[in-house]
Each structure stands twice: as structure tokens, then as C-alpha cells.
Amino acid sequence: MLASVKTTRMGLLTAASLLLSGMAKAQAPEAAAPAKAAGMNEQELLFWVLLGLLGVLLLVLLSVGITIVVQMKPQLRLLYNLPTVHGTWSGKVLGLLVGDATLVRGEYRDELLDHDYDGIHEFDNDLPPWWKYGFYFTIVFAFVYVGYYHLTTKGQLQVAEYETEMRQAALLVSAGSDDPTKLTTYLALTTAADLSSGKSIYATNCAPCHGASAEGKVGPNLTDDYWLHGGEVNQVYKTIKFGIPSKGMVAWKGKLSGKQILQVTSYALSLQGSLPANAKPPQGEKEAVGKPVAGL
């Protein structure tokens, strides 16, 4: 008995000494701060402790719920068999607890129909309710999607999302001469020398895709009022300079100077309304009435 008391006393003294040493270390100067920074801070430790406690609590609640259902299964079976409960939605949910999977597999299963051909019988099976309700959900979702994205145009489609992301990304880089988002304020060149130079550049570089008279071949027709990427002089200049790789339009910024690009831009816009033979059908959107088309 005396030995047991001494052992207990020694244990209490050891625990007290460990507690006091821990408190002393906590009150010591912040010499060990760098070592603490490498580990887990108090907030992270508290988060994981609470998350663990939440997980344990959920497991306990799940175990208690399963135990209650198992213990009360005879009473739940009697309740499920009541005519006022059996056919209701809540009754079908209750049926899952007592072993009736009608809510999952449907009401009719392997029901023999009156079709009989050469000894072959036809059976009827319900579509699973979860499948039917999922199908109804896709129909409702389709109407909501079309209304939100295509009728009200409140939602952004893929192209609009891409353009928005590109504008946001442009804010992270400085706007220089090679920045495709930088707005230029060029006016179309109208002198005969510039238009002649533009015509020569067009014949060498642009005619293979857009046609000798800009009637359109692989590329679109440049003589009508419809434009895929804008028909204002600065928009056409940007298209020629940076290209549209996804549409097969190459970038000419490393092959033509800025003045040469403006010259060929001005020449292409001077062909507006020329009505060439074998013109390609319009593509893109028509420019708004009154919108300047290079002032030509």
C-alpha cells in the first residue's frame, strides 16, 4: 500500500515538473522563433484539431443513426406497411431503411406482359426513378442554360470568356508597341503613293488568301461591309499586325514595318464597295451605320 502511494506521488511530481518546464519554455525569450516558423502555427494546429473532432463527431452520429435504424427496423416495417404511408414519397424513402429498393429500381420489375411470340415473353421494367428525375433535371437545365447564355446574353460564352481573360491578362503586362491590347489612333492613308505601295504589298502577301481583287478565297471578302474582327482602320491594322492564328491569319509584324501595315490596311479599305467578280459571301458582322471605316 505504502509503495503504491509513493509511486503515485512520484508520478504526480514528474507530471508537475514537466508542466512547469513547458510553461517556462513558453515564457522564455523568442530565441526559438525561427524554429517555430518552420513548423505548424497555432491557427493551423487548431484548424486540424477541429477538423478531426468534426470527423469523429460525424462518425459517431452515423454509427448512432445506423444503430437506431437496426434496432427500430420492426417498428419501421410496420409503419411502412400502412396504406397511408406505403405509396407516398416519404414512405418510399422509409422503404430504403427496411430493405425495399422501389425508390431506386422502380415499382415494376420483371412484370410479364401479354406479348408472346414463338415462346418468347416480354417483361416490363420501370426506369429507375433517380434516372427519370435526372433526365427531367437535364431538360430544365437546358432551358435555363439557353435562356441565360443565348436569349438574355447575361452569361459569357467561350469566346467572350477568352476575350475577358485576355483583357485581364493584359493588365499584368506593360502596354508597348507589340501589345495587341494597346489601342492605336491611326488614320487611313489617302495619298496615291501610299495606296500604290499598299497595293503592291497586298498583291505580294495578301492576294493568295484574299484574292487579287480582295474578293475572298481562303480568307474572307474584304470589299463588303461585313467584318470578322472589325472594319475600322485600327482594327484592321491590328488584325494584320498580330494575325488571328486560330483562323489561319498570320501575323505580319515581323515581316512588314508599321508604315507598310498601315499602307496595306488603307489600300484594303479603299476597296470597300468595289463589287469584284466571284465575290465570296459575307462573313462576320456588318459594321454599324455611321461607324467610320477608315474615312475613305
Strands of the chain, DSSP E = 111-117, 120-124, 226-227, 285-286
Q: Which residue has the cell 462518425?
A: 59
Query: pLDDT for 206-255, tens place per residue?
Result: 999 999 999 999 999 999 999 999 899 999 999 999 999 888 899 998 89
Q: Please name which of 244, 270, 242 lies closest in space to residue 254, comparing C-alpha atoms.
A: 242
pLDDT at 160: 86
pLDDT at 288: 52
Note the Cα 242 to chain centre separation in Å. Answer: 27
- Alpha-carbon distance of 279 to 18, in angstroms, equals 93
* pLDDT string in tens for the chain (296-residue length): 444 444 555 555 555 555 555 554 444 444 444 444 456 788 888 999 999 999 999 999 999 988 887 888 788 777 777 777 776 767 777 777 777 777 666 666 666 777 777 777 777 777 777 888 899 999 999 999 999 988 988 888 888 888 888 877 766 665 566 777 777 889 999 999 999 999 999 999 999 999 999 999 999 999 999 999 989 999 999 999 999 988 889 999 889 999 999 999 999 999 998 999 989 999 988 875 434 444 33
Spell out the CATH class of 192-286.
Answer: mainly alpha
Q: Please name which of 235, 242, 231 lies closest in space to residue 272, comparing C-alpha atoms.
A: 231
Indicate the domain borders of the chain.
73-105, 127-174, 192-286
Query: pLDDT for 83-113, tens place per residue?
Result: 777 767 677 777 777 777 776 666 666 667 7
Do 244 and 253 meet the contact criterion of CB atoms below 8 Å apart?
no
C-alpha cell at 221: 471578302
pLDDT at 146: 93
